[in-house]
């Protein structure tokens, strides 16, 4: 990964490189909050300095898959922060973007992280240091955690499963630079090393995932989207039929295949996130 000297002045720059450059420059909050640093958004707002749909010149291959290992547990909590009161360890944030092979960011991608605690132990009875989240409208994610401890036979790593809506799951692991055990761990993959910098008493890491899909369209909440507004059928009890593109809030009730579900977490519905498939978002009533 490299940082372009002057990304906005380079006609060959891709949207992905622009995002990477902005992330490395610490401009992620600006990207997320205002969006004006993005090539496509700048063009949409009337800017003329970059193409509307920049070509992808990075040629990145999909992120390497890795073994799941013995400690994955399904059903992790929906949360971006794995740190709880009393958590021991060095603070760490991991952030980045989820892209398709066409360099388009993938919103609504499911990222399920699990890792060891600072002493190298996994919580196999509960969900400490386990959590899943969804990439935001810009394809961005952020995980707040601690630096995982070492355990016998492995170098330092974080496990993750990443899935674009309705697509296959990428299972992989993220690594830290300058770890002595990287040289002796047969599972270690240098292409999965995060960019890590020290900030205060903690570390900030970044890593972009590239999934072997062609990206996904933005949710229909886009103000310029061509899709008509969803108009789910309603019943007298306030329960609607689950429908792609609808924004649900906690407490909403839907029916799907004749079964009633209650929304647990506000989200926009994607194909692939049908209520039976995402217990973190819907519970049976
Ligand atoms: Fe592990």
Residue range 49-57: mean pLDDT, rounded: 36
Residue indicated by tokens 């973190």: 280
CA of 91 to the centre of ligand 1 (A): 19
| 206 and 151 share one domain | yes
CA of 64 to the centre of ligand 1 (A): 16
Q: Is residue 151 part of a domain?
A: yes
Whether residue 15 is predicted with pLDDT greater than 70 in this model: the reply is: no
Q: Is residue 66 part of a domain?
A: no
- Indicate the range of 12-21, 38-47, 120-129, 170-179 predicted with least confidence: 38-47
| 220 vs 124: which has the higher pLDDT | 124
| 153 and 100 share one domain | yes
User: What is the layout of strands, in order, in the sheet containing 157-163?
Assistant: 130-134, 110-114, 157-163, 169-175
| 124 and 178 share one domain | yes
- 30 is in which domain, residue-wise? 7-44
Q: Is residue 147 part of a domain?
A: yes
Specify the pLDDT at position 224. 32
| 205 and 257 share one domain | no
Residues 67-105: tens digit of each pLDDT? 999 999 999 999 999 999 999 999 999 999 999 988 899
Q: Is residue 78 part of a domain?
A: no
CA of 241 to the centre of ligand 1 (A): 41
CA of 149 to the centre of ligand 1 (A): 10
| 175 and 272 share one domain | no
CA of 157 to the centre of ligand 1 (A): 6
Listed ranges 189-193, 245-249, 260-264; the one with the highest mean pLDDT: 189-193
| 177 and 272 share one domain | no
CA of 114 to the centre of ligand 1 (A): 8
| 26 and 122 share one domain | no
The CATH number that applies at residue 201 is 2.60.130.10
| 139 vs 214: which has the higher pLDDT | 139
Q: Residue 132: which of 157, 161, 104 has the closest Cα?
A: 161
Helices and strands in the chain, H and E counts: 3, 15
Q: Is residue 39 part of a domain?
A: yes
Q: Is residue 63 part of a domain?
A: no
The strand pair at 91-99 and 140-146 is best described as antiparallel
Residue range 148-153: mean pLDDT, rounded: 97
Residues 22-49: tens digit of each pLDDT? 444 433 333 332 222 222 233 233 333 3
Q: How many domains does the chain have?
A: 3
CA of 165 to the centre of ligand 1 (A): 25
CA of 109 to the centre of ligand 1 (A): 22
pLDDT band at 282 (very low <50, low <70, confident <90, very high): confident
Half-sphere exposure (Cβ direction) of 86: Cα atoms closer than 13 Å: 1
Listed ranges 42-51, 163-172, 232-241; the one with the highest mean pLDDT: 163-172
Q: What does the alpha-carbon distance between residue 34 and residue 102 come to, in Å, rounded to a whole number? A: 23
CA of 196 to the centre of ligand 1 (A): 19
| 245 and 201 share one domain | no
Token code pair at residue 88: 């021991």
Instruction: Compute the mean pLDDT over every residue in the chain, rounded to the nearest whole number.
Output: 77
Token code pair at residue 272: 């692939």
Residues 255, 234 contacting (CB under 8 angstroms): no
CA of 128 to the centre of ligand 1 (A): 14
Could you tell me where the beta strands, DSSP code E, fall in 62-137? 91-99, 110-114, 130-134
CA of 142 to the centre of ligand 1 (A): 20
CA 131 to chain centre: 12
- Indicate the range of 25-29, 152-156, 183-187, 261-265 predicted with least confidence: 25-29
Residue range 47-70: mean pLDDT, rounded: 63
From 158, 193, 210, give the residue that closes a domain.
210
Q: What does the alpha-carbon distance between residue 71 and residue 69 come to, in Å, rounded to a whole number? A: 6
The CATH number that applies at residue 273 is 2.10.10.20
Question: Which pTM value belongs to this model?
Answer: 0.63
Q: Is residue 23 part of a domain?
A: yes
């Amino acid at each position: 990964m490299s940082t372009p000297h002057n990304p906005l002045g380079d006609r060959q720059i891709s949207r992905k490189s622009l995002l990477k450059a902005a992330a490395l420059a610490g401009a992620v909050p600006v990207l997320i909050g205002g969006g004006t640093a993005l090539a496509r958004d700048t063009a949409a707002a009337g800017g003329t300095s970059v193409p509307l749909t920049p070509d992808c010149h990075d040629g990145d291959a999909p992120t390497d898959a890795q073994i799941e290992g013995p400690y994955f547990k399904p059903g992790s909590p929906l949360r971006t922060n794995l740190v709880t009161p009393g958590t021991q360890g060095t603070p760490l944030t991991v952030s980045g973007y989820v892209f398709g092979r066409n360099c388009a960011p993938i919103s609504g991608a499911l990222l399920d992280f699990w890792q060891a605690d600072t002493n190298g132990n996994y919580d196999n009875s509960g969900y400490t240091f386990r959590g899943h989240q969804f990439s935001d409208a810009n394809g961005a994610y952020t995980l707040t955690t601690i630096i995982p401890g070492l355990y016998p036979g492995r170098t330092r790593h974080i496990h993750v499963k990443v899935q674009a809506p309705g697509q296959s799951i990428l299972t992989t692991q993220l690594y830290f630079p300058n770890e002595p055990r990287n040289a002796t761990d047969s599972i270690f993959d240098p292409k999965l090393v995060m960019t890590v910098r020290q900030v205060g008493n903690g570390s900030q890491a970044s890593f972009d995932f590239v999934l072997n899909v062609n990206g996904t369209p933005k949710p229909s909440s886009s103000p310029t989207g061509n899709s008509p507004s969803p108009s789910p059928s309603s019943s007298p009890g306030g329960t609607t039929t689950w429908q792609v593109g609808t924004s649900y809030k906690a407490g909403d009730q839907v029916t799907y295949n004749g079964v009633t579900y209650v929304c647990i977490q506000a989200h926009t519905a994607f194909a692939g996130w049908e209520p039976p498939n995402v217990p973190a978002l819907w519970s049976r009533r």
